[in-house]
Amino acid sequence: MVSKHEAAEAVREAKVRTGITWAQLAEAVGKPLAWTTAALLGQHPMEKDDATTAAALLELGDDVAMAFQLQPSRGALESAVPVDPTIYRLYEVVQVYGPTIKELIHEQCGDGIMSAINFRLDVRRVPDPAGDRVVITLDGKYLPYQW
């Protein structure tokens, strides 16, 4: 049997071999781009049909399609503080702006959090004459502390 971690590795390899993009995979599966990417990287369980569709597109076997459907044990960083520069910048945002975001959530909503479970994510390239921009949208339900 193939683990979700091994399935994620297989996906990365198959993408290089087949030239299929995340966007094509998301379109085939009919799910949002970031959700599909996260799912194929092992962070969400997929439904059977979606798993089969994605595996077929990537020319991967039934055992990988099965792994796509497993309940994940989430969390994907190789260490508490990520070392890859592209991912580190996200951690840096938490280091520098974490308390700012906390203050603004509390001022606008009250004593609570942005859910990371009832949550969606978008990553887009936005053209800009001064150099294109990466715009990441974190969109989670507000959950008030409630006893």
Q: Which of residues 43-82 bind a copy of itself (CB under 8 A)?
A: 43-45, 66, 69-71, 73-82
Neighbours of 64 (CB within 10 A): 22
Q: Of 13 and 27, which CB lies nearer to a copy of itself in the complex structure?
A: 13
Residues 49, 56, 59, 89: which binds a copy of itself (CB under 8 A)?
Answer: 89
Q: How far is the CB of 56 from a copy of itself (least distance, A)?
A: 19
Q: How far is it, in rounded angstroms, from Cα 36 to Cα 112?
A: 28
- Contact (CB, 8 A) for 132 and 126: yes
Q: How far is it, in rounded angstroms, from Cα 107 to Cα 142?
A: 13
The reply to whether 89 belongs to the active site is yes
Q: How far is it, in rounded angstroms, from Cα 31 to Cα 24?
A: 11
The reply to whether 115 belongs to the active site is yes
Q: How far is the CB of 44 from a copy of itself (least distance, A)?
A: 7
Residues 5, 6, 52, 121: which binds a copy of itself (CB under 8 A)?
Answer: 121
- Decide: is 19 part of the binding site for a copy of itself (CB under 8 A): no
Residue 60 identity: L
